[in-house]
């Protein structure tokens, strides 16, 4: 059996996979996972429970989970990390980013092929990333590709052949729309990936990335944020809750100006509110 320590260790290691997607997976988790909030560990732990369920239970050869949350909250990275940590022999990422320029029918073919390939392996994980973009969801007029949606609906429900087991990890920022499209019912479980939502978490990220040369400077910056009305150690005001992806890019930007790191950080976060 795999315990939590093994799992956490596996997250830090590189593993070859048949699925060819090794490179793609590596790419989406190259920045690593920062444990800025207990919820991060809880999500990874839930992930491994589903991995173990697929690995051990003969009753559930197909398990599908949905990681949903605001844009940039870390859904793709978490999904890919869980997939990679499974060490299943077939791991594949289906991402709109790898299908740029594909026609609708090419996308249907590519998606169908990946699932067909997964059925050849005893244990597989398929990450279906960013469902709304996969189906070309357009809020204006609520348009989307029905062919791709129908393909996903069928594949999400299709039991793998005898002796084969499959974990599907889907991600989306538009959970409510998935319900309207009839996709929500296909998931066995939904996990919400929240934004960074406390000053304490924000400080954890800043510290992990060594944005400030000293603890004193870091503490001062955090005090500045508190005074600027960002919120408390335990809770950021809703307007300042920010996806980890965006926070990482703001931190790298602030780093470019070593003299004014705290001001740059505060300024960039303040701009978010203006959006
Ligand atoms: P989008 O809504 O645009 O699809 P997303 O929710 O899928 O975004 P990711 O693309 O996964 O977000 O971006 C998260 C980034 O933050 C990645 O670069 C990842 O390495 C990094 N990261 C650091 N810590 C974490 C964490 N605890 N959880 C998730 N990602 C993290
Ligand atoms: Mg994503």
From 89, 78, 94, select the one nearest 31 (Cα to Cα): 78
pLDDT score at 26: 78
Which residue has 């950021």 as its token pair? Answer: 236
Say what angle helices 261-274 and 215-227 make with each other, to 10 degrees.
Answer: 30
For 153-179, the pLDDT digits (tens) are 999 999 999 999 999 999 999 999 999
**pLDDT score for 16:** 43
What pLDDT score was predicted for residue 101? 94
Residue 148 and residue 118 in contact, taking contact as beta carbons nearer than 8 Å: no
CA–CA distance from 244 to each of 34, 51, 173, 262 (Å)? 9, 25, 14, 18
Report pLDDT for 149. Answer: 98
137 vs 31: CA distance, rounded Å: 28
Distance 246 CA to ligand 1 centre (A): 9
13: which DSSP letter? S
Ligand 1 and 245: CB distance under 6 A: yes
Taking the centre of ligand 1 as the mean of its atom positions, its distance from the CA of residue 119, in whole angstroms, is 29
Longest dimension (CA), the chain: 62
Q: What is the pLDDT of residue 29?
A: 82
Evaluate: CB of 31 within 6 angstroms of ligand 1.
yes
- DSSP, residue by residue, 166-207: EEEEEEES-HHHHHHTT-GGG-SEEEE-PPB-SHHHHHHHHH
pLDDT in tens, 94-126: 999 999 999 999 999 999 999 999 999 999 999
With beta carbons less than 8 A apart as the criterion, state whether 111 and 149 touch.
Answer: no
- What's the confidence (pLDDT) of residue 2? 59
270's CB contacts (< 8 A; 6+ apart) are 228
Q: How far apart are CA 187 and CA 185, in angstroms?
A: 6
Atom of ligand 1 nearest to the CA of 69: 6
pLDDT at 22: 67
Q: Which ligand is nearest to the CA of 248?
A: 1
What is the model's pTM? 0.91
Residues that place a CB less than 5 A from ion ligand 2: 76
Token digits of residue 195: 């934004």
Write the residue with the smallest CA distance to atom 15 of ligand 1.
245
Q: Which residues of the chain are modeled with pLDDT < 70?
A: 1-22, 274-275
Cβ 81 under 6 angstroms from ligand 1: no
CB of 131 closer than 8 Å to CB of 183: yes
Element holding 270 (H helix, E strand): helix 261-274
The residues with which 127 forms a beta bridge, in sequence order, are 93, 169
Cα 214 to ligand 2 centre (Å): 33
Q: Which atom of ligand 1 is nearest to the CA of 78?
A: 29
Contact 74 CB / ligand 1 (< 6 Å): yes
Is 173 near ligand 1, meaning CB less than 6 Å away? Answer: yes
């Amino acid at each position: 059996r795999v315990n939590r320590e093994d799992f956490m260790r596996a997250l830090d290691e590189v593993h070859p996979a048949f699925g060819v997607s090794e490179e793609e997976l590596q790419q989406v988790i190259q920045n690593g996972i920062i444990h800025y909030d207990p919820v991060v560990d809880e999500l990874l732990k839930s992930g491994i429970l589903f991995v173990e369920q697929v690995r051990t239970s003969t009753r559930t050869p197909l398990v599908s989970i949905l990681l949903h949350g605001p844009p940039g909250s870390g859904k793709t990275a978490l999904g890919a990390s869980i997939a990679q940590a499974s060490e299943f022999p077939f791991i594949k990422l289906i991402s709109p980013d790898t299908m740029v320029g594909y026609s609708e029918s090419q996308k249907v073919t590519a998606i169908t092929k990946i699932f067909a390939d997964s059925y050849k392996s005893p244990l597989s994980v398929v990450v279906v990333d960013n469902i709304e973009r996969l189906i070309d969801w357009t809020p204006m007029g609520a348009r989307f590709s029905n062919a791709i949606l129908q393909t996903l609906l069928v594949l999400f429900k299709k039991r793998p052949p005898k002796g084969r087991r499959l974990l599907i990890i889907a991600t989306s920022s538009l959970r409510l729309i998935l319900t309207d499209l009839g996709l929500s019912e296909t998931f066995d479980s939904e996990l919400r990936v929240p934004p960074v939502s406390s000053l304490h978490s924000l400080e954890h990220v800043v510290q992990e990335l060594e944005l400030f040369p000293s603890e004193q400077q870091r503490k001062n910056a955090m005090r500045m944020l508190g005074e600027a009305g960002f919120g408390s150690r335990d809770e950021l005001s809703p307007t300042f809750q920010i996806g980890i992806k965006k926070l990482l890019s703001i931190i790298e930007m602030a780093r470019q100006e070593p003299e004014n790191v705290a001001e740059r950080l505060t300024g960039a976060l303040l701009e978010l509110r203006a959006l």
